[in-house]
Amino acid sequence: MIFRVIEKAELRSLFTMLSAANRVIGPVGVGLDRSGRQLYGFEEVHDFDRVALDYTMTSLSAKKYFLPYREIMATFTMDNKDWQKRIDYNIDAPFVFFGMHACDINALNRLDKVLMGSVYPMPYYAAKRKNAFIIGIGCEPQPNCFCRSMGTDTALHGFDMFITDIGDRYFIEIQSDTAFNFLKKIRTGEPVEADHLSFMKTGAGKNEKFAASVDTTDLTKILDMEFQSEVWKQWGDKCLGCGTCANVCPTCYCYSVEEEVSIDLTAAAKVKKLYSCNLIDFAVVAGGHNFRPERHSRLKYRYYHKHRGFVEAYEESLCVGCGRCGEACLADITVPEVIASVREGRKTDGQ
């Protein structure tokens, strides 16, 4: 890998250069919550001063820029018994993602495995993923973050360049030719030994700040053993079945397809909508049979997919430990607590 260091002011030049010719998505403040805490989201930005480089955690992940919540997969023109189908992968121009944390980059890497690496690559996703210029940025662990437990606290690949704040300057990892060429247009320097040490010190400092963790030892087996555990029912009683965990999750990719007919009956569309396995009708088949009729069986399935099935298939968890689901869940269901309760055979929150 090639490394560079830049003066902090140079980042503005990089942004200005990129945003002059491309659409740029980045973290921005979107208001304060009821206790005065800053909330963040990913939005299109035109002004470098709006980019919240020190953002904590966005409420929603970066997913919608790669897997839109609602996407038209195909349209039809209808002609009585005949029809024509048109397929559009819905990408018109490359875009810049300015400031993505390691967990979210790793989330894309995991999605790549399912959506690009399998027998049937999904062009809707690939078209957007391949056209995203991703600038990663270092972060401070938040109370709900457990990425370190999931091995996703650093990103090894899946980005174009990654920025780490090493005090007075930024340390930059370069992974793509495109990034290398852009960096030639601003003032950069070769890192010296002192920069390397600062980089390492930053990483070590970050590691000390994690508050939440998940013990993944033997987890796939434990989940199998505890399939009938009562704790699932207890969590199921709390679960609202609202699908919010899946919607804020950077790796939940499951979807539903709805067909729409235009009111003049001359056209139709096939629409993909991100769905959630916690929703009542996720596993309903024609005729009405529901393979997971109870809330707890659906909640359990979600954990099975993230922490067992995906591990079995790809030797790593689908959960990247970003902590968004726990943060967003009104019923306070968090991954560290659920996993811990399954390991211990009881709920741990004292209820």
Backbone phi and psi for residue 320, each to the nearest 5 degrees, phi listed first: -105, 10
Cβ 124 to another protein, closest distance in Å? Answer: 8
CB 73 within 8 Å of CB 257: yes
Binding to another protein by residue 295, rule CB under 8 A? yes
- Which helix (H) or strand (E) is 111 found in, with range? helix 102-115
Q: Between residues 202 and 327, which has the closer beta carbon with respect to another protein?
A: 327
Q: Write each residue from 130 to 159 as x if it is in contact with another protein (CB under 8 A), else as -, in one continuous string.
A: xx-x--------------------------
Q: Write each residue from 161 to 200 as x if it is in contact with another protein (CB under 8 A), else as -, in one continuous string.
A: -----------------x---x--x---------------
Binding to another protein by residue 28, rule CB under 8 A? no
Binding to another protein by residue 1, rule CB under 8 A? no
DSSP letter string over 57-98?
-BSS-GGGGTS-SEEEEEEEEEETTEEEEEE-----S-EEEE
Q: Record the tokens describing residue 96, joined without a space.
A: 């810049």
Binding to another protein by residue 48, rule CB under 8 A? no
Q: Between residues 42 and 199, which has the closer beta carbon with respect to another protein?
A: 42
Q: How far apart are CA 234 and CA 295, in angstroms?
A: 10
Binder of another protein out of 60, 72, 156, 186 (CB under 8 A): 60
> Measuring CA to CA, which residue among 247, 238, 225 is closest to residue 334?
238
Q: Between residues 143 and 309, which has the closer beta carbon with respect to another protein?
A: 309
Task: Pick the piece of the chain touching another protein (CB under 8 A) from 2-10, 124-132, 137-145, 166-174.
Answer: 124-132
HSE-CB of 122 using CA atoms within 13 angstroms: 16
Q: Between residues 92 and 344, which has the closer beta carbon with respect to another protein?
A: 92
- Which helix (H) or strand (E) is 267 found in, with range? strand 267-274
Q: Record the tokens describing residue 274, joined without a space.
A: 């991100």
CB 343 within 8 Å of CB 217: no
Binder of another protein out of 44, 224, 230, 344 (CB under 8 A): 224
Q: Between residues 166 and 248, which has the closer beta carbon with respect to another protein?
A: 248
Binding to another protein by residue 53, rule CB under 8 A? no
Binder of another protein out of 53, 72, 74, 186 (CB under 8 A): 74
- Interhelix angle 230-238/295-304, rounded to 10 degrees, is 110
Binding to another protein by residue 304, rule CB under 8 A? yes
CB 306 within 8 Å of CB 317: yes
Task: Pick the piece of the chain touching another protein (CB under 8 A) from 46-54, 123-131, 186-194, 340-348.
Answer: 123-131
Using CB under 8 A, which residues numbered 314 to 343 contact another protein?
328, 330-331
Cβ 109 to another protein, closest distance in Å? Answer: 17
Binding to another protein by residue 253, rule CB under 8 A? yes
Q: How far apart are CA 264 and CA 70, in angstroms?
A: 22
